[in-house]
Amino acid sequence: MHILIVTDQHPDTIGGAQVSIRVQQTFLERAGHRVTIVAPRLLNPGEAKTTTPGVIELPAMPITSDKSYGASWPGQASVRRVLRRLEALPPVTLVHVQGDFWGALIGYQLARRLNVPAVNTMHNNLDAGTRAVTPFAPAVFWALRAVRRCVLGRPRWPGRQTVAARRRPKPRGGWAYLAQLAADSNAVVAPSRHFAGDLERAGVPGPFAVIATGVHDDLVDEIKAESFSRGPGVRMLWCGRMSPEKRLFEMLEAFRLFIAAGGSAHLVVVGAGLQYEQAVRFVREHSLGDLVTFTGALSHEQTLAEIFRADVLVQTSRGFETQGMTPYEAALLGTPTLYCDANIASAVDVAPAWIEPSGSAQELAAVLATAATEIASGAPGEMRVPELLTEGMRQSSRTEEMLEVYRALCENA
């Protein structure tokens, strides 16, 4: 098969969806298939930590002040550009949409022009994420639906059943836009059971194939083969995109309260984003500079190494993640996680682990203290996740599940 993945951001930028796409490409190609990715061009190529092969880049305009991310216009010029590049490649078997904005619209346009099925993996809790970053979310949702209609017209329901449509609740807000994208698809994939449930309750039409993204087998094995000695004290880790829905500042405030109450630990913060300078300023103003290290953006392999070296990963996003990759990566590497989202904790389902249930910085500080005490008092290796609990989290086991979806569509095409 030749799978055309179309996405909102270049796979060499920072983000869970980008990591997911890169690892999917690697293991689909190992299974003997060809993968081509369509994405906006890199606006800061010198800052890329990876180099992904087989990418058709589209013209892009910056959508963040640091030019980390770009947007491509979903018009006929973009479609023609991709079609010209595809002329030199084997025929496309299907289009896999792994984006919600320009990537989704361009992906569906390409599927229609190529007359092939379209699969949509819904990586993004669009409703919660948009409401977290702007007070004008209703206007954004209206604009998204309007642009989708201008580009794609009425949803087509290609080869999909509308059984029980009357019993579905009417989707609203960002869910209404996702419902239209789902109705444009031949198959819809959710990366977790809890997000599939969110989609169903919001009225997004299914059925949904639940296929979580796995962790890169080779990277896990290489990093676990490293030899290093953990230093004294408890090493905590936070990693992700520095934007409000990830709740970095709740983490920093909780760590401040933890230290003020006599706690002892070192916090490593991995990632970048629009809140980076503000976060550095917070640490400086509260005299935490000796206890908090900012690494900036790292490659995926470097990030996994930091997870492996940590005593505990702290996952602070709440009610937003559709899967949450870092706790899966941590589990495979043996690092326990402190969760602020019970859905992710339930999905990963390994021990040791801690859950902060309320969402407050004060409660998170208390759970940080509990975790630090248990880690510091545990015997060597006792507070690590046993390998036998993480079977099935590797991407090699997930790729076949996705191929089953692809094969079913091709058989029915």
Question: What is the pLDDT at residue 161?
Answer: 56
Question: What is the pLDDT at residue 112?
Answer: 96
Same domain, 221 and 184: no
| Burial letters 260-275, b for 16+ CB under 10 A, else e | eeebebbbbbbbbbeb
Tokens at 229, concatenated: 């000695």
d(CA 224, CA 334): 9
Question: What is the pLDDT at residue 40?
Answer: 97
* Peptide linkage before 90 cis (omega within 30 of 0): no
Same domain, 359 and 379: yes
Q: What's the DSSP call for residue 92?
A: P
Run of H or E residues at 95? strand 94-98
d(CA 21, CA 356): 30
Same domain, 84 and 179: yes
Same domain, 165 and 279: no
Same domain, 123 and 207: yes
d(CA 23, CA 12): 12
Pair 82, 56: CB distance under 8 Å: yes
Q: Strand 292-296 vs strand 312-315: parallel, antiparallel, or unpaired? A: unpaired
d(CA 13, CA 19): 9
Half-sphere exposure (Cβ direction) of 308: Cα atoms closer than 13 Å: 19
The domain in which residue 88 lies consists of 2-214+394-412
d(CA 16, CA 323): 9
Question: What is the pLDDT at residue 21?
Answer: 95
Same domain, 31 and 175: yes
Same domain, 244 and 327: yes
Question: What is the pLDDT at residue 332?
Answer: 93
Q: What is the domain-level CATH number for residue 176?
A: 3.40.50.2000
Backbone angles phi, psi at 282, to 5 degrees: -60, -45
Distance, first Cα to last Cα, the chain? 14
Question: What is the pLDDT at residue 49?
Answer: 76
Same domain, 355 and 223: yes
Question: What is the pLDDT at residue 34?
Answer: 98
Chunked into runs of 10 residues, the chain (413 residues) has average pLDDT values of: 97 88 96 97 82 94 86 96 97 97 97 96 92 90 96 80 63 95 95 94 93 92 82 90 91 98 96 92 96 93 94 94 92 96 94 94 97 90 85 88 95 78
Question: What is the pLDDT at residue 8?
Answer: 97
Residue ranges in 171-227 assigned as alpha helix (H): 174-183, 193-202, 217-224
Tokens at 140, concatenated: 């954004």
* Torsion 328-334-335-341 (CA) sign: positive
Same domain, 208 and 279: no
Q: What's the DSSP call for residue 171?
A: P
Task: Report the candidate in 335, 376, 330, 338 with the shortest Cα–Cα distance to residue 356.
Answer: 338
The full 3-state SS of 251-273, as one line of letters, equals HHHHHHHHHHCCCCCEEEEECCC
Tokens at 65, concatenated: 């002040």
Backbone angles phi, psi at 140, to 5 degrees: -65, -45
Same domain, 203 and 265: no
Same domain, 379 and 234: yes
| CA 121, chain centre distance (Å) | 11
d(CA 243, CA 261): 27
Same domain, 353 and 399: no
Which residues face 6 on adjacent strands?
Answer: 38, 97
Question: What is the pLDDT at residue 160?
Answer: 61
Cα-based angle 92, 95, 98 (whole degrees, multiple of 5)? 145
Query: How many domains does one find in the chain?
Result: 2
pTM of the entire structure? Answer: 0.88
Pair 316, 247: CB distance under 8 Å: yes
* DSSP states along 213-263: --B-HHHHHHHHT------SS-EEEEES--SGGG-HHHHHHHHHHHHHTT-
